Structure 1
């Protein structure tokens, strides 16, 4: 009888434990190291540069199974999280959100309008910006240096953040070559 009560108590706590990992209804999955800002992209870019970091904008939506995968399987990995936190300021936007953001050109709009303006059609999507933007009349979409649409595994995601940090987009080695070379190095080191 005591065993049955203990088993029943355990079963009752399992849904609570699982629910604790879910965001509130209508909310996005979120990491505590994501930046909390006024979502003024020029200010966010300047803040990131002032910290010696790059700005990454992650667009997600409530109920997105791929966003969940990214958060639970990739961004929760200490190696990935530590690298991103050390090198990037991450601003999260809701694909269908109504919060006001200000694009680099100073135009204010809702998150959903910005996402349309930047031609984001899939979640999650990570948009990487350059270190600085000299022009005042450009949009995020006009100056982004790279875009990662979708939830990829640990090594692809981490390599994309590394490649952007190293300004691989300015060189001759395409991301796919950079990533393939790194995977071979991981295999040779016995990490894969």
Structure 2
């Protein structure tokens, strides 16, 4: 019996990671993403109506870091739950041609928006506040951005930091200090 359990455990470890679902556009898809007309003012209003925070995620075809996030980080139960319950996520293609209406009213393609907002890496997540003045772009309004692939703990902490509006905190605890404190608290909890 022990030998059978050992063989089963070895087989499970040898299995490849579950492949993330790819859409017709070659981008990774998740059920917490919202397929919208990419009018960001409308998306912001819809997110607010649902009691969620608007987040934009830039990805590109063939992005190995996007794949890593979709296979290893986003499936984390804490992260998956928060993305479903607390965030209204709209996906944008770094090289895409789909029309986007920025929060300032400018209409441009996804790739033009990426250039306008200074997007250099994929995946990049941009987190927006609930209220944005009419003449402000998404990049100008962003309360936080996560350029690249990060661990589940960093991603979770950033999602929580934005959700709790800790960017409004006037103390010295910016995200890096908050994240360091969370790491220490998790380590202390494991030691109990």
Flag whether TM exceeds 0.5 (same fold): yes
Higher mean alpha-carbon deviation, 77-86 vs 59-68, is at 77-86
**Structure 2: segments with no counterpart, 5+ residues:** 1-15
Listed as ranges, the matches of 1:1-192 within 5 Å are 21=20, 23=22, 26-133=25-132, 135-171=133-169, 172=171, 173-190=173-190
Residues of 1 paired with 2:72 and 2:22: CA distance? 16
The CA deviation at 1:52 is 1.0
Match of 1:12 in 2: none
Residues of 2 paired with 1:75 and 1:18: CA distance? 13
Aligned residues: 174
**Structure 1: segments with no counterpart, 5+ residues:** 1-16
The SS at the match of 1:190 is helix
Match of 2:12 in 1: none
Aligned-residue Cα RMSD (Å) equals: 1.8
Q: Deviations over 1:34-60 (max 9, x none)?
A: 011110000111111111111000000
Residues of 2 paired with 1:41 and 1:89: CA distance? 11
Closer/same/farther in 2, CA of residues 92 and 24 from structure 1, 3 Å limit: closer
Q: Deviations over 1:102-161 (max 9, x none)?
A: 00111111100001111111111000101111x212111111111110100101001001
With structure 2 as the length reference, what TM-score do the two structures score? Answer: 0.85
Is the Cα–Cα contact under 8 Å of residues 55 and 127 in structure 2 kept in the other structure? yes
With structure 1 as the length reference, what TM-score do the two structures score? Answer: 0.85
